[in-house]
A and B are shown apart, each in its own frame.
Chain A
Amino acid sequence: MPKITYVATDGTARTIDVAVGTSVMRGAVFNDVDGIVAQCAGHAQCATCHVYVDEAHLDQLEPARPDEDDMLGFTACPRRPNSRLSCQLKVTSDMDGLIVHLPERQY
């Protein structure tokens, strides 16, 4: 399974094996990673699963669809060029080694 690393604002990192086909969001909430809320459970409705994708991996990801792109304008912490909603990041085998940074807050 691809390994995904979640880095909190205090620098603590957790690396988790996440199944292909699930989402980066579910990888976090299924493994008690703090810092991702996902109120709507993964439907790009609430912008509480915001992550900053490590620059090295940005190119590997499918670009955000229009609804995710709109939603990213309303995250609790400022949007940056590497902002994504983790519920919309579907895990693929190419994602092995992906690093995402968690924002300070989600709401």
Chain B
Amino acid sequence: MTNSTHPASVVVVGAGQGGHQTAVSLREHGYRGSVTLISAEDALPYERPPLSKAYLTGEADQSQLWLRPATYYVRQSIDLVGGTVTEIDRAARTVRLADGSSYEYGHLVLATGARPRALDVQGAGLRGVHTLRTEQDAAELRAALATARRAVVVGAGFIGLEFASVARSVVPEPEGATARGSGGSTARGTGRPTARVPGRARCEVTVVEALDRPLARAVSAPTAGHFTRLHREEGTRFLFGRGVAALHGDGRGRVASVELADGRRLPADLVLVGVGVTPRTELAAAAGLAVNGGITVDSRLLTGDPRISAIGDCAAFPQVRSGNLLRLESVQNAVGHARLAAERITGSTTRAYDELPWFWSDQFSTRLQITGVTDGGGHDTEVVLGDVNSGAFSVLLFRGADLLAVESVNRPADHLAARQLLGRAIKVTPDYATAPGFTLRGHLAHPTPGRPRHTPGADRTVMPCRSSSADVTPSPDTSPPANDPS
């Protein structure tokens, strides 16, 4: 590592999980130049996953979201700046903020994230209509949920379903009432016994989705079917294949109903719009950087300007295997990108970004974990391990003989084994996966009959989630390339 090539200063625009991690990783790699982390939000950097989960229920407060305490940034000489960047001046290597201040950079990292898509219909600006991205959004939604009686969720994506899960979860009755409960209570209307505490659901929930199933762009049909059943059992109503035409107010500026494209009106005192996000690419575009569904970067996460990187939700990066541009919205992606960018800036690596994507979602007491990516091209074969009706299963998605991704519902061991298999490019075919007795973990221990690839116990536990390049580069004796026609 040659210090002479290090930039004297790094400015990071955006203090979400990716921007934050960039600053942390720069210091971990011994970077001694100035680090400026610019946040448009008036808060310490925090993690977002709990915003649609524990934070909404009130189990987690703001300080529990912080990625580090305030003292950390002081100790590490990370300059946390609150403000909105309005311009990148590439010639002057300076970013300008709305308040007129400016910061010179040796290297600039754009970690601008994404913003929720708004509903482009009349009434979208009424009070009581929410989106969920920031801690502020979540605080408002939590307050609204406390008194809401009828919630309509527009969009059956992860945000919408995680919110529905919280809104349909039971509020325990005050002490005393609970103590008198004599067990054997039944879920609302289903007649099945439940171990749940007695109480009432927070509110009625209707989910309106334009497509014919939930999570349509994210998961396979068997997994989507499971989540449909799960939410229905918990009392959520789904309206699939319906568009929203307008939102109507109560005459005092508050939302009162949601009008569907077919003219039907759903009464609502709370509307959550969860119809995806748009990457924040405006700054990059205005600075003349390429934008293609995200700020376009190369395999080292550099834009066309060698002094500017883009990472996380806002970045469209080439998938190593296919070369296709990919934009992912996940903690893993943000953190993985941040680490690579920091390593590259400090001269610790020149490697291409090739981390295996993974993701999770908690809904009711069900945990969905996904690893791999179907890469836009989709899959042609699904193999289900376990019984979908049992609520614990995995779906293996193949294109031809190649395993692309694995979705695991309440099967964490499958998920972890899949991360190993995909990360090390160990071949898994539909034939293997449908053979009697096949398990992902068993296949990891013995990938092909009679030819174990590694010795159990001897460091078989390298996680592809965050490996050095040596860990994920297939050694010559591992399986053939995934696109091998054999």
Query: What residues make up the interface of A, taking CB atoms closer than 8 Å to B?
Result: 22, 29-30, 32, 37, 39-41, 43, 45-48, 66-67, 70-71, 73-79, 106-107
Besides A39-B466, A45-B369, A107-B463, 12 more A-B contacts (Cβ < 8 Å) are A29-B68, A30-B69, A30-B72, A40-B331, A43-B49, A43-B360, A48-B466, A70-B413, A70-B416, A71-B412, A71-B416, A74-B416
Q: List 6 A-B contacts (CB under 8 A).
A: A29-B68, A45-B369, A67-B367, A70-B413, A75-B461, A107-B462
- Closest residue of A by beta carbon distance from B458: A78
Per-position binary interface string of chain B over residues 451-473, scored 1 when its CB falls under 8 Å from any chain A CB and 0 otherwise: 00000010101110111000000
- Cα A75 to Cα B416 with chains together (Å): 10
- By Cβ-Cβ distance, the 8 closest A-B pairs, closest first, are A107-B466, A70-B413, A70-B412, A74-B416, A41-B47, A67-B412, A30-B69, A74-B461
When the two chains form their complex, are residues A47 and B49 in contact, meaning their CB atoms are under 8 A apart?
no
Contact of B416 among A22, A41, A73, A107 (CB under 8 A): A73
- Cα A38 to Cα B442 with chains together (Å): 27
- Cα A22 to Cα B465 with chains together (Å): 25
- Cα A97 to Cα B373 with chains together (Å): 44
- A31 CB, nearest partner CB in chain B, Å: 8
- B461 CB, nearest partner CB in chain A, Å: 5
Contact of A46 among B17, B47, B466 (CB under 8 A): B466
- Closest residue of B by beta carbon distance from A107: B466
- A35 CB, nearest partner CB in chain B, Å: 11
Q: Which residues of A contact B236 (CB under 8 A)?
A: none
- Cα A103 to Cα B76 with chains together (Å): 24
Contact of B465 among A39, A41, A79 (CB under 8 A): A39
Q: Which residues of A contact B69 (CB under 8 A)?
A: 30
- B157 CB, nearest partner CB in chain A, Å: 19
When the two chains form their complex, are residues A76 and B360 in contact, meaning their CB atoms are under 8 A apart?
no
- Cα A46 to Cα B463 with chains together (Å): 8
Q: Judge whether B75 is part of the interface by a CB distance below 8 angstroms.
A: yes
Query: What residues make up the interface of B, taking CB atoms closer than 8 Å to A?
Result: 17, 47, 49, 64, 67-69, 72, 75-76, 331-332, 335, 358, 360, 367, 369, 412-413, 416, 419-420, 457, 459, 461-463, 465-467
Question: Which of B332, B360, B465 has the most chain A CB atoms closer than 10 A to its own CB?
Answer: B465
When the two chains form their complex, are residues A78 and B360 in contact, meaning their CB atoms are under 8 A apart?
no
- B105 CB, nearest partner CB in chain A, Å: 25
Q: Which residues of B contact A75 (CB under 8 A)?
A: 461, 463
Q: Which residues of A contact B369 (CB under 8 A)?
A: 45
- A72 CB, nearest partner CB in chain B, Å: 9
- Closest residue of A by beta carbon distance from B413: A70
- Closest residue of A by beta carbon distance from B75: A32
When the two chains form their complex, are residues B457 and A78 in contact, meaning their CB atoms are under 8 A apart?
yes
When the two chains form their complex, are residues B420 and A74 in contact, meaning their CB atoms are under 8 A apart?
yes
- Cα A71 to Cα B465 with chains together (Å): 12
- A19 CB, nearest partner CB in chain B, Å: 10
- Cα A27 to Cα B59 with chains together (Å): 19
- Cα A46 to Cα B330 with chains together (Å): 13
Q: Which residues of B contact A106 (CB under 8 A)?
A: 466
- Cα A32 to Cα B68 with chains together (Å): 9
Q: Which residues of A contact B75 (CB under 8 A)?
A: 32
Contact of B462 among A22, A40, A76, A79 (CB under 8 A): A76
- Cα A43 to Cα B368 with chains together (Å): 13
- Closest residue of B by beta carbon distance from A37: B466
- B328 CB, nearest partner CB in chain A, Å: 15
Q: Which residues of B contact A73 (CB under 8 A)?
A: 413, 416, 461
- A102 CB, nearest partner CB in chain B, Å: 15
When the two chains form their complex, are residues A76 and B72 in contact, meaning their CB atoms are under 8 A apart?
no
When the two chains form their complex, are residues B463 and A48 in contact, meaning their CB atoms are under 8 A apart?
yes
- Cα A107 to Cα B72 with chains together (Å): 23
Task: Contacts A46-B465, A47-B463, A70-B413 given; indicate if A32 touches B367 (C-beta within 8 A).
Answer: no
- B332 CB, nearest partner CB in chain A, Å: 7
Q: Which residues of A contact B332 (CB under 8 A)?
A: 39-40, 46
Q: Which residues of B contact A47 (CB under 8 A)?
A: 416, 463, 465
When the two chains form their complex, are residues A41 and B463 in contact, meaning their CB atoms are under 8 A apart?
no
- Cα A106 to Cα B466 with chains together (Å): 9
- A100 CB, nearest partner CB in chain B, Å: 19
Question: Which of B68, B331, B463 has the most chain A CB atoms closer than 10 A to its own CB?
Answer: B463
When the two chains form their complex, are residues B459 and A78 in contact, meaning their CB atoms are under 8 A apart?
yes
- Cα A45 to Cα B68 with chains together (Å): 19
- Cα A45 to Cα B332 with chains together (Å): 10
Q: Which residues of B contact A46 (CB under 8 A)?
A: 332, 463, 465-466
- A79 CB, nearest partner CB in chain B, Å: 8
- B325 CB, nearest partner CB in chain A, Å: 24
- A93 CB, nearest partner CB in chain B, Å: 18
